[in-house]
Structure 1
Amino acid sequence: MTELTPLQNLWLTETIRLREEHAGPLDDLEANRLARTGGGDLPSRIQRRARWLADRDGLTPALKHWLHGARLALVLLSLFAVLSGAGLAFAALGQTPVNVFWALGSLLGLNLILLLSWALGLVFAGEHGATLGRVWLWLSEKLARDAKAAQLAPALLLLLQRRKLNRWALGTLVNGLWLLAMLSALIVLLMLMATRRYGFVWETTILSAETFIHMTRTLGSLPALLGFNVPTVEMIRASGDAALDIESARQAWATWLVGVLVVYGVLPRLLLTLLCWWRWNSGKAALPLDLNLPGYAQLRERLMPTSERLGVNDPAPAQLHRVDNSVGELTSEGALLVAIELDEQRPWPPALPKSVSNAGILDSRESRHKLLEQLSRFPPARLAIACDPRRSPDRGSLALIAELARNAGATRVWLLQAPPGEALDADRLGDWHVALQQLELPFADCAPLNWLETGHD
């Protein structure tokens, strides 16, 4: 298994819960057994079960694809923010001479309006950045290019909404992108001012000069605390008629414009990005699994039972799952012969070589559970499973065969001959062949004792 973060494990667990809520219970016999074997409290067992099911059903790779798409979507949005910020700077200095308040509106107007909207949404509605968040989620799904990834976004939103972490996650995204746009505008503004000579004026039809003087001095009071120059009253008054061809006046206006952009554009977005990032990280670390949800509450008895239960309780799956060995990297040794539900008329076991162990006949839940627990700790290199083809290949027997095979290095199924004087039903034998072919397990009607002993036929 690839390593996942705690949030990603919770995310997969929530995705599995939603799948079972809408499509019905999954085939989880082995997942439940492995979750019980691993021990721990109920949340850890639920997450272990969900991780196994996610790996089996392809949700873990889908999560990786979704995250890759999310990163690519974030890169595209960041590029858009940089270009937008540069466009704001070019628009601000596009006039000759530069109207200082028109330039200020171009640089800060949209930013301040959306910042106010964000703050009001945070206080009153608890949701903000919905449009930009939906764009990011939509881009993430499109760029993931995985059909199973479509189930992940709703699960993530539901998971985060329980502790209202979505507001801080989207807040980090929104304010971070605006911070990038403001920084881009600031850098382009400085580059333009460093390479070109600009004159600054202010113009009005209905307002008085004293109004502009007061507005300029008021807006420049906070930047002045950080060392940015503010034009004098005489400079402000003189700039109402024409751009002053004085070096000190041009520098004073340019410094004032840069200072206002830094204080009212860059710094608020920077502080809000850091705040949202801190709240997101602290909340993410303490995000729990909500055991009161119906999908998790019904797993309690299966994963932490008062008495262990084995057997088939779930509806049949659309098709049998392939047997993928998970013990290839583990230490597996020895050979084992086991039989499933043989009647008392058949002598058992046959004469076995000394190197082959007999696991007996699995005819009860207790015996099945005991053997599966043993195989999960000490998987054999070779396993032969004897079955009576006079019985129908029911779902419970096939699920047990698949579980046994997953816990062995190599597996063969032995379809026993009928007792003397009795014939096998051809249709039922054909059903066994079809079922075992779906499981991709080799089978034969003769004892694989030589293979069990030596590994060769």
Structure 2
Amino acid sequence: MRDALSFNAVWLAETLRIKELRDGALEDTTQVARALGRGGSFAQRLVARAQGLAERENIQTTFVHWRALGKLAFAVMAIAAILTGAGLAAGALGDGTRPVNLMLAIALLLGLHTLTFIFWLIGTTASSSHASGLGTVWLWMTARMARTPQSTAAGQALVATLQRSQGLKPMLGMLTHAVWSVAFVAALLTLLALLSARQYVFQWETTLLAPDTFATITRLLGGLPSLIGFPVPADTVVSQSMAGALPANIGAGPIWSQWLLGVIVAYGFVPRFLALLACVITWQRRMQHLTLDTTLPGFIELKPRLMPGSLNTGIDAPAPDLFSHPREAGPSRPMTPGGHNALVALELPNDITWPPSGLETLGTDLGRVDTREQRHTLLSVLESKQYDHLIAACDGRLTPDRGTLLYFQALAQTCKQFHVLILLPDTMPENNRTTLWQANLERAGFDGARVYTGPANLKAQTGITLSTPHGNH
């Protein structure tokens, strides 16, 4: 079952994915530990990790900035729509010194709208995810204003998230129809203001069409507006509006004014407003089932760390109990030199010799593991090898953290018996943190009998014979 997530959560996780693919992976030990502590599905843990990194890297401010730029871009487009709508209305009516050509006025006010609306309908029903219209203009304007790398990543993540959820078309459609609705409101208000302040004479003009054709056009265009209360001029009024009959047409100005307003409302504003509502409803429905595509590059690599098989992280448990007990694969052979064993050093500094003298013959040396990528690679290697014994060494001078303990639990799933070797440099034979390591490892579910404070302690507890006995390191 797919886990529905909030749009902002998915957008944030996608932004972090794009940023890390472009700039390299971020250090996230603490964030991964917190995500594991919260539990949930892989997608929910990805979101928890992204939220933690966003707080640390101050990426939240990028989202605030991007939204502000988006609002600014829409405001600019809305102002342009107001000026355009008012300008078209004023141009359609003129200054009152000449009769208003009804056909040209309708073409001026509804022509471009009709063409773009038809194109939008075709694009909406098409299978292609390509979107066009004023929504694309808004997206381009916002991207142009957001020039920082993090803002660019946020914009790319927005588009990618919407495309995968099939939400790009309805969102850009909302913006497109909202701008057109604003333009028609401005045009209607301008028409009302001019018609209230001036006397206009309306007429039909033609060279090719028969005069009675305009009576049919008037009835057809006036049919839909009449359903919401706008009048339809009678045929006699239409005939009086023809060129040459203007003196008789002066008194018909009010009915033609209402008819023209009704045509603009019914065929201009109402379709745009209904399309806006349809886009809003479609957007909301698709966002209810929004989730992450966890198979994408940048996400799938995190699965071994965020979904280790050994973890059972109940979200209602207190923090110390979030560690589950590592699964033991059953009894295994005693650890002997040359057996099917492996050794690995986890973030071990150079002042600690690796491997310690005498341990090189105990099994396969997998080397030092320092980066996140190396951790992922190690887990993959261990899963395929299934060693009898795995000895993981750590720096005893460091304070044990949840991320390291959780990684140890993941390592414990790859072998029959897991051992932890706490090492110190020759110049520091004692350190009180070794006790802390032992306590935390036992609390995390590891058998204290397989936690060693140096090679000599390993030899004493296991009874193995090392090739070159050496003191504690």
TM norm. shorter chain > 0.5:
yes
Give 2:288's aligned residue: 285
- Structure 1 position 360 matched with structure 2 position 464: no
CA deviations on 1:372-398 (whole Å, 9 max, x unpaired) are xxxxxxxxxxxxxxxxxxxxxxxxxxx
The answer on whether the counterparts of 1:26 and 1:314 sit within 8 Å (CA) in structure 2 is no
* TM-fit CA distance, 1:315: 5.8
| Residue aligning to 1:113 | 115
In structure 1, give the amino acid aligned to 2:206. T
1:269-296: CA deviations, max 9, x gaps? 0100001011111211221112232432
Q: Quick check: 2:241–2:249 contact (8 Å CA) kept in 1?
A: no
Report what 1:53 is aligned to.
Answer: 53
Is 1:91 matched up with 2:166? no
Alpha-carbon separation, structure 2, partners of 1:283 and 1:54: 25
Q: Percent of aligned positions with the same letter in both sequences?
A: 36
Give the letter for the 1:270 counterpart: F
Aligned length, in residue pairs: 340
How many Å apart are 1:313 and its aligned residue? 3.5
| Rounded Cα–Cα distance in structure 1 between residues aligned with 2:38 and 2:129 | 39
| Aligned-pair CA distance for 1:91 | 1.1
Structure 2 partner of 1:333:
none
Q: Is residue 242 of structure 2 the alignment partner of residue 256 of structure 1?
A: no
After superposition, residues 248-397 of structure 1 pair within 5 angstroms as: 248-307=251-310, 312-314=370-372, 341-342=423-424, 346=428, 348=430, 360=435, 362=437, 367=441
Change (3 A) 1:49 1:203: same
1:211 matches 2:213:
yes
TM-score (norm 2): 0.66
Distance 2:296 2:149 in 1: 26
RMSD: 3.0
Output the CA distance in 2 between the equivalents of 1:129 and 1:161. Answer: 10
AA paired with 1:269?
R
CA distance in 2, matches of 1:200, 1:56: 67
Asked whether 1:62 is paired with 2:62, we answer: yes
Instruction: Tell me, in whole angstroms, the C-alpha distance in 2 between the residues paired with 1:128 and 1:80.
Output: 25
**Counterpart residue identity of residue 252, structure 1:** I
Aligned equivalent of 1:171: 173
CA contact (8 A) 1:341 1:362 kept: no
Which residue of structure 1 aligns with residue 193 of structure 2? 191
* Counterpart contact for 1:70–1:143, Cα < 8 Å: no
* Contact 1:73 1:139 (8 Å CA) reproduced: yes
CA distance in 2, matches of 1:295, 1:359: 36
CA contact (8 A) 1:126 1:167 kept: no
Q: How far does the alpha carbon of each residue in 1:172-191 deviate from its partner, in whole angstroms, 9 at most, with x for none?
A: 11111111111110111011
2 CA distance for matches of 1:164 and 1:198? 49
Counterpart-to-counterpart distance in 1, 2:259 and 2:399: 86
AA partner of residue 292 (structure 1): T
AA in 1 matched with 2:135 = G
Name structure 1 gaps, 5 residues minimum.
317-336, 351-357, 372-457
Matches within 5 A, 1:234-245: 234-240=236-242, 241-245=244-248
Checking the alignment, whether the CA contact within 8 Å between 1:118 and 1:128 is kept in structure 2 is no
Amino acid at match of 1:314: R
Q: Is the 8 A contact 2:13 2:50 kept in 1?
A: yes
Shift of 1:151: 0.8
- Aligned position for 2:138: 136
Q: Say if 1:82 and 1:180, in contact at 8 Å, map to a contact too.
A: yes
Shift of the 171–303 alpha-carbon distance from structure 1 to 2, 3 Å rule, reads same
8 Å Cα contact 2:201/2:250 also seen in 1: no
Superposed displacement of residue 134, structure 1 = 3.4
TM alignment of 1:417-428, pairs within 5 A? none
Q: 1:179 to 1:293 in 2, by over 3 A?
A: same
Q: Aligned in 2, Cα 1:147/1:344: closer, same or farther, shift over 3 Å? A: closer
Contact 1:127 1:167 in 2 (8 A): yes
Q: CA deviation at 1:266?
A: 0.8
Q: Which runs of 5+ in 2 are unaligned?
A: 312-325, 327-345, 348-369, 375-397, 401-421, 446-473
Q: Is the 8 A contact 1:341 1:363 kept in 2?
A: no
Report the more deviating stretch, 268-277 or 297-306.
Answer: 297-306
